Amino acid sequence: MQYFSTNHRSASVSFRDAAIIGQPDDKGLYFPAELSTVSDEFLASLPELSNEEIAFNVMRPYVADSLPDDVLAEICTETVSFDFPLVALNENISVLELFHGPTLAFKDVGARFMSRCLEYFARDISKRPVVIVATSGDTGGAVANGFADADGVDVVILFPKGLVSRIQELQLTRCGSNVTPLEVNGNFDDCQRLAKTALADTDLGSKLFLTSANSINVARWLPQQIYYFLAVKQWKDVEPPVFSVPSGNFGNIAAAVLAYRSGLPVRSFVAACNANDVFTRFIRTGSFEAKPSVPTISNAMDIGDPSNFVRIVELFGGDTDKLRRMIASYSISDEETAETIRSVHDRFGYILDPHGAVAFAALTRHQEFFAEDKGIVVETAHPVKFDSVEKILGMKIEAPASILDLEKIPKWSIEIGTSYQTVKDILLSLES
């Protein structure tokens, strides 16, 4: 499988090179030259297959030229080594829980897959491999955990100071010895700009082998399609589901659409947005216009210029009319998010995190127009990770043991401004 740049000015590369490089030099995103198609037999056998078998079969067409089958099988086993339960709240809405991994967030899947791929590839890289990641919350924690003490790989994480939750900060600043957390006095867009500038810096690239760990990297992005297959494996209704996906940088819903384009039965998608509504406005008007992000209680979605928008357009062959027919989008306010958390807890005894609450509210709004559509809310993180949930519900949420262990470790991070030179100097210090 070859991967081309969505800007169509860089050379096509293998999965190995796309994972190592991270972002093409023309600043596009790598995209598979062919979309894999799953067989009807595979789809029919989903309920009988193990999660590891499903992951292997979904990923193999995209990586077969870069990873031996035995290595891929081991990576897939470690990637899906926790539960992905589908919980029915009523006959019309179920919740896909993606927070049973080590950092209590859906990004554990992509981070674990990518970290193991890069550790395997790093053996043949002459320069020091350094992974750089900008995070609005959960990505950094998942990457830090996935790469913790990985042999021969350093990790640098940029996160906005004061704009992540207490538990997210714990996971970002109590990391392995090979992880450097940078606490940026700015917002997520500043962090993402710094990371992208570093990746495009040819001088820096001559000294380090720098790659990304955001969903712009295909090794982080592609495995996210696995849990949509795992959801359908558990789906009992005759009609395919609508997936309502909390959407910030749009890697998650782009992976969902990839699964759909590969043959997974899906009725449609709902891109659930908070006040950062550039995609919602695009669906309504057909015009995409980035804007500065604004802070919300669903902070991991506070992104005003989603990188993976170009992949979604590519998945529909550039046909934005077809895209807008398949994906609905709704913007949910903080007030609606909080009310959804309260009402879902009151009605079902279920606690949503703010991102899942945005997806739940967006799905119920969608069902007001399409009452026959039964859907799956993608619950991307454990509610304990968000300080706001306890305040909204007026109750204490019990923290898992893994979080209590982090609280015993001293915080370590480097506080910086938004100057790229500071980031470059820190990266260059890793060369020695």
Model confidence over 130-160: pLDDT tens digits?
989 888 777 788 888 888 877 778 999 999 9
* 245, part of any domain: yes
From the candidates 107, 196, 374, 385, which is the catalytic residue?
Answer: 107
**Nearest by Cα to 394 from 347, 338, 356, 432:** 338
Q: How far apart are CA 379 and CA 264, in angstroms?
A: 20
pLDDT tens-digit map of 308-352:
999 999 999 999 999 999 999 999 999 999 999 999 999 999 999
Residue 275 maps to a domain: yes
pLDDT number for residue 21: 85
Pair type for strands 209-212 and 242-246: unpaired
Residue 121 forms part of a structural domain: no
Per residue in 159-209, pLDDT tens? 999 988 888 898 899 887 889 999 999 988 899 899 989 988 989 988 888
Kindly state the average pLDDT of the residues 280-293. 94
Predicted pLDDT of residue 432? 60
Number of other residues whose CB lies within 10 A of the CB of residue 411: 12
Among this protein's residues, is 107 annotated catalytic? yes
Dihedral Cα 114, 357, 271, 214, nearest 10 deg? -20
- How many domains is the chain partitioned into structurally? 1
Distance of CA 381 to the CA centre of its chain: 11
C-alpha span between 131 and 153 (Å, rounded): 7
Helices in 45-159 by DSSP H: which ranges?
51-63, 69-79, 107-121, 138-147
Report how far residue 266's alpha carbon sits from residue 326's, in angstroms, rounded to the nearest whole number. Answer: 10
340-395 pLDDT, tens digit each: 999 999 999 999 999 999 999 999 999 999 999 999 999 999 999 888 999 999 99
In whole angstroms, give the CA distance from residue 234 to residue 255.
Answer: 19
**What range defines the domain where residue 245 resides?**
83-103+221-393
With 0-12 / 13-18 / 19 or more C-beta atoms within 10 angstroms meaning exposed / middle / buried, residue 38 is middle
| Whole-angstrom distance, CA of residue 107 vs CA of residue 301 | 13
Over residues 261-280, the mean pLDDT reads 97
**Tokens 């981070």 map to which residue?**
111
pLDDT score of 125 more than 90: no
Strand partners, 272: 246, 330
Q: Is residue 135 part of a domain?
A: no
Establish if 431 belongs to a structural domain. Answer: no
Q: Please give the average per-residue pLDDT across 114-121, as a whole number.
A: 90
Phi and psi dihedrals of 200, rounded to 5? -95, 0
Q: Would you say residue 272 has pLDDT above 80?
A: yes
> pLDDT at position 163, please?
85
Residue 279 resides in a domain: yes
* Residue 113 is assigned to a structural domain of this protein: no
- Asked whether residue 13 is domain-assigned, the answer is no
Specify the CATH number for the domain of residue 255.
Answer: 3.40.50.1100
CA-to-CA dists, residue 238 to 11, 226, 235, 270, 373, angstroms? 44, 21, 9, 20, 12
User: Is the Cα dihedral 338, 342, 345, 351 positive or negative?
Assistant: positive
Percent residues over pLDDT 90 in the chain: 72
